[in-house]
């Protein structure tokens, strides 16, 4: 099989609709919700939920299986490619808004990666119900950031009630508030909490648990004030003797010699890191297009195709930004194509995330630099995009951690051998 770089018709049609949303609903109020960090744009949430249901349902980050019409020619799967294109366009509108688009997010991705068919049916179906619903992943802890094997949250089975009792503290949970707090306008969400069922087993003891919104003993303790993506909530969550049904465990309840539980977490990231990369590239594209627009207004046209020695310094910079943005997008396309075709993409996933983190940060910074006071002014959204950009290199594995993943994959080293 080969990668087809022609944009599939369903994705092109979807992008036309999403660009309208991005221009008229997201861009117009992006500054308002950036300055009022924990306000909730209900109009956007409800509109997007209705729109996605009309298109067949979103189901979070789990791509929908396409059912071709009878007699129609079967085409290659495009589920993750569709998601990447959708996310890039929404992030082009506003990445903070994109992060509060209804759906399962990382929580749904964890269920998709590690859940049983019964669990997928139970938990993923709710994202297509009448009310918009959210889910989140709870992995990072005060003492366990990039080193997820250092997680200290503990889950103990109460054999009398057949429930798991979970204790621990989680921080920097994207969409944690909307996923766990029972808002009247939202459906019943959930968080996926990573905890150990046997700390002595190390990574082999790690498991994911679906914790339903409103579960006693679970509390939102803090909403973070952030540099960027301020329309999105980022929460700290504590769990004190939280009781979770036995069947809410994703994976096997027994500890084996293999690191199956930890691999379940990594499988989630293999699927979602290219999508995070896509969101960053949406921000970078917005910044680059704005830069070109302002340069054109001031009589500066970029002369593509000329020998480099005949270009001005600004033209060289803009063309370099274009090249980096397009090369990063090609890496995303390869990673999602592999995911769609059920090929192992751990290497390509992390490479796309590293590249996008670098490109998004550098393109937005260079755009601010070239435009000077215009780029720095709050009159335009460019300074906001500069602030929004940095998170691409931080969440779902920092640039440094993903470089380690890439090196281990290429050189054949284990985590213990190359740290």
The set of catalytic residues is: 396
Q: Given the structure tokens 């994202």, which residue do they identify? A: 127
Cα distance between the two ends of the chain: 35
Taking each helix axis as running N to C, give the angle between helix 260-297 and helix 382-389, from 0 to 180 degrees, rounded to the nearest 10: 160
Write the burial class of residue 147 (CB in 10 Å: 0-12 exposed, 13-18 middle, 19+ buried).
Answer: exposed
Q: Given the structure tokens 């117009």, which residue do they identify? A: 28
Tokens of 57: 């349902």
Q: Given the structure tokens 């979970």, which residue do they identify? A: 166
What is the spatial distance between Cα 355 and Cα 284, in angstroms, rounded to a whole number? 12
Contact between residue 101 and residue 25 where contact means Cβ atoms under 8 Å apart: no
Kindly state the DSSP code that residue 22 receives in the 8-state scheme: I
Report the DSSP beta bridge partners of residue 404: none
Q: Is 124 helix (H, G, I), strand (E, B) or coil?
A: helix
Q: Name, in order, each residue with C-beta under 8 angstroms of 122's C-beta and a sequence gap of 6 or more.
A: none
Report the DSSP beta bridge partners of residue 210: 192
Q: In angstroms, what CA-CA distances link 224 with 176, 234, 236, 301? A: 11, 6, 8, 42
Tokens of 187: 């459906």
* Helix, strand and coil percent figures for the chain, each rounded to 5: 55, 15, 30
């Amino acid at each position: 099989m080969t990668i087809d770089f022609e944009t599939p018709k369903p994705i092109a049609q979807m992008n036309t609709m999403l660009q309208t949303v991005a221009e008229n609903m997201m861009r117009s109020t992006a500054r308002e919700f950036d300055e009022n960090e924990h306000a909730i744009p209900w109009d956007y949430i409800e509109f997007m939920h209705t729109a996605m249901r009309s298109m067949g349902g979103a189901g979070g980050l789990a791509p929908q299986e396409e059912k071709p019409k009878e007699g129609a020619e079967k085409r290659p799967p495009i589920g993750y490619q569709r998601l990447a294109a959708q996310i890039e366009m929404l992030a082009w509108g506003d990445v903070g808004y994109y992060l509060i688009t209804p759906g399962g997010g990382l929580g749904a991705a964890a269920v998709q990666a590690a859940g049983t068919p019964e669990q997928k049916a139970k938990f993923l179906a709710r994202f297509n119900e009448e009310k918009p619903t959210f889910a989140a992943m709870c992995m990072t802890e005060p003492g366990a950031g990039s080193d997820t094997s250092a997680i200290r949250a503990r889950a103990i089975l109460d054999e009398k009630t057949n429930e798991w009792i979970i204790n621990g503290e989680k921080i920097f949970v994207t969409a944690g508030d909307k996923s766990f707090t029972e808002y009247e306008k939202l459906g019943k969400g959930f968080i996926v909490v990573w905890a150990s069922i046997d700390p002595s087993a190390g990574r082999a003891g790690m498991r994911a648990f679906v914790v339903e919104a409103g579960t006693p003993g679970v509390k939102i303790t803090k909403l973070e004030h952030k540099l960027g993506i301020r329309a999105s909530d980022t929460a700290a969550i504590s769990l004190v003797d939280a009781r979770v049904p036995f069947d809410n465990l994703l994976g096997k309840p027994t500890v084996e010699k293999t690191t199956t539980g930890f691999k379940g977490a990594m499988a989630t990231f293999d699927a979602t890191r290219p999508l995070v990369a896509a969101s960053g590239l949406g921000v970078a594209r917005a910044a680059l297009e704005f830069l070109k627009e302002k340069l054109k207004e001031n009589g500066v046209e970029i002369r593509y195709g000329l020998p480099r020695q005949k270009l001005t310094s600004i033209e060289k910079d803009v063309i370099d930004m274009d090249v980096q943005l397009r090369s990063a997008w090609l890496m995303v396309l390869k990673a999602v194509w592999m995911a769609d075709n059920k090929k192992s993409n751990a290497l390509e996933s992390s490479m796309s995330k590293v590249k996008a983190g670098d490109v998004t940060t550098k393109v937005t910074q260079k755009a601010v630099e070239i435009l000077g006071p215009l780029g720095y002014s709050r009159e335009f959204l460019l300074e906001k995009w500069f602030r929004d950009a940095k998170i691409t290199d931080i969440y779902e594995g920092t640039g440094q951690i993903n470089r380690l993943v890439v090196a281990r994959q290429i050189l054949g080293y284990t985590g213990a051998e190359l740290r």
